[in-house]
Structures are given as C-alpha cells and as structure tokens.
Structure 1
Amino acid sequence: MEGYAATFGAEARLGDFVETIEPGAFRASLDGDILALVDHDPGLVLGRTRSGTLRLAEDSRGLAFSLDLPDTQAGRDIIALAARGDIGGMSFGFLIPAGGEVWQGNRRSLRAIDLREVSVVQAFPAYPDTQIALRARGEADARAARRRAVELRERTPWA
C-alpha cells in the first residue's frame, strides 16, 4: 500500500479550529521508529520503519508512505477494504515540539511535528487529501493493481 498520510496546505477542520501542515514539518522526525497502525490502535500494527516494512519520505506534496502489509487478519482486512474502495484515508499521530505550531485566531499551522505513527483510517480521517493505492506484489499483477488503485478523498458527511 502506498500514498500520502498527510498533505501540505490541506485544511483539517478539528472541532472549533482549522489546522494546516507546512512543508518541512515532518523532516526532523523521519529518522525515528514510526509505526503504521489501523485507526491509531497500537494493538493493530501493520508495519514500522525500524523493520523496513514502512517507508516514509517528505516531498513537495506531503508525507509519502509505502507499506508492506502483513499477512495478518488486520493486514488482510485492510487489503480487502482498500480493494473495494471502503477505506476512509490516512491519518497520523504526533506530538508538537516547542515552537512547532503557530496560532492565528482559530487557525493552527504545524511547522514541526514529532511523528509517532501513521494510520490507515477506516472511516473519517481529519485531513481531506490523503491517498491510498494498493501495489502489485509481482510484475504480473501490476496491471490488475493499477485497476484496483483507489485515490481517497475525505468527504465530510456531516458538513
């Protein structure tokens, strides 16, 4: 599975405030051991950077990820849901280091993020422009995987 766990400049409406992420916000934390989870649940680990099953990079668009899904019940469930187009998107868990945020009224801009995990979100991700696509396991499956690839954009059903 691959895509974007966060995109720069996209607005997330979080209760009574709006949040955006600035380019470069993830850069300092990408050397740590970061987990890939289902719905932020530490009991549902899909991969991690330390083992090489999760790869993260920050580019001009946002936080790109590539994840080798495990042959576990959680991994198989995510593959099945993504193939059907039922996954809501991606999210991430983080802390904010000193000086990492700037507030202007009810708007928060994240300049630095201490990233802890990225999550496949089954229902409603906070950020609207995350993307997920299934990758082929072998060269023979490449055309089929492209047909199954799903770009997800959150559509806030309650807005």
Structure 2
Amino acid sequence: MIERRAMGEVRSEGRTLRGLAIPYGVDTRINGGTESIAVGAVTASLANRDILALVDHDASKVLGRTRSGTLRLVEDSRGLSYEIDLPDTTAARDVLALVERGDAGGMSFGFNVPKGGDEWRGTHRTVRNLTLHEISVITSHPAYQATTIEARGAAHSMELLRLRLEVYR
C-alpha cells in the first residue's frame, strides 16, 4: 500500500513550481500519533527511479517527471526540494491559477516504506528509508505544514540552477 502525506504552503510567480516536498525532522500528526522523516530517507529512491509530479495523487494529471527532466528533485539537510516545469494542460493551468491566488493547499508525497525502513517509539514513527513514487500539488489540506510551493518565471529558475550547480561543485 502506498502511503501519502500532504503538507505545505503554496505561492505563485511564473510557470515553474518550486518548493519543499518533504521536510526532514519535522513532526506531524498522523492517525493519532506523530511522524517525522529522517534526513536522507529519500536518498536511495532518487537513484534510477522515474518519479512523477501529480495533482492530488491522480496519475491522470501528470505535471512533470524526473525521466523527462520536467521534474527536478534535490535533497539537502532540510529535505527534498523540487522544481516542476508546468505543461500547457488543463490540470497545470488549474494548479497554476490556485497557486497564484494562494488557494492551493500544499504539497504531498506518495511512498512505501521497505521492511526495516521505519522506527517506532510509542506512537511516534520515524521514517528512515522510503521509496518515493510521486509528489503532488494538493488542493485541500496538507499534513506536513513545512512543505512549500511557489511558481517562478524562467529567469528565476536559471538563477536557482546556477546556484545549485555552485553548491554541488
């Protein structure tokens, strides 16, 4: 069974969405307990996987994917950040309109936890390893409030790419 977690703030400026999809070390209330995602939990998932960007976890509303380069994911000590180049589709135009108005609920992610990938202490679960399938822009209520989403124009995206390349040199 794929687990889903939703979180975050949504802002807009342009046709590229960007923000934090998975925050590390942030507790959130899930099913009567708390949960946090440990630093590095998604690292193994990023290698050789085609991860999708969706609307509300709906596989018929694809916004981007890592295989085509229209979804870019970068992990650091804060969590998993993303950039999505929006297509010219009804779903993407609808999402952009919600983000620009400040009406989108946040970001979410769909994942599985492999055997031994989590640790329980009472009612608190720490996910130390997960298999990421997709991230989603959600239109309702997020679970993790620490995620972010905003839309940026092409010039801003190029500046972010330049800064990111400097960090990884």
Is TM more than 0.5 here? yes
Structure 2 gap segments, 5+ residues each: 1-16, 160-169
1:38 maps to a residue whose letter is: V
Task: Identify which of structures 1 and 2 has the higher relative contact order when contacts are C-alpha pairs closer than 8 Å and 6+ apart.
Answer: 2
CA distance in 1, matches of 2:95, 2:75: 24
Determine if contact 1:10/1:128 at 8 Å carries over to the other structure: no
Q: Which runs of 4+ in 1 moved over 2 A?
A: none
Does 2:57 match 1:37?
no
Determine if contact 1:40/1:119 at 8 Å carries over to the other structure: yes
Does 2:140 match 1:123?
yes
1:15 maps to a residue whose letter is: N
Structure 1 gap segments, 5+ residues each: 143-159
Superposed displacement of residue 34, structure 1? 0.3
Does 2:152 match 1:135?
yes
Aligned to 2:10: none
Determine if contact 1:11/1:128 at 8 Å carries over to the other structure: no
Alignment of 1:89-100 (within 5 A): 89-100=106-117
Does 2:21 match 1:5?
yes
Superposed displacement of residue 137, structure 1? 3.1
Alignment of 1:2-151 (within 5 A): 2-31=18-47, 32-138=49-155
CA distance in 1, matches of 2:95, 2:125: 31
State the identity as a percent. 54
CA distance in 2, matches of 1:138, 1:80: 20
CA distance in 1, matches of 2:28, 2:55: 20
CA distance in 2, matches of 1:84, 1:60: 30
Total equivalences in the alignment: 140
CA distance in 2, matches of 1:92, 1:41: 12
CA distance in 1, matches of 2:31, 2:135: 21
Deviation per CA, 1:98-144: give whole Å up to 9, x if none: 211000111100000100000001111111100011111357xx9xx
Moved more, 5-14 or 103-112: 5-14
Secondary structure of 1:130's match?
A: strand
1:81 maps to a residue whose letter is: L
1:82 maps to a residue whose letter is: V
Determine if contact 1:4/1:63 at 8 Å carries over to the other structure: yes
Bigger strand fraction: 2
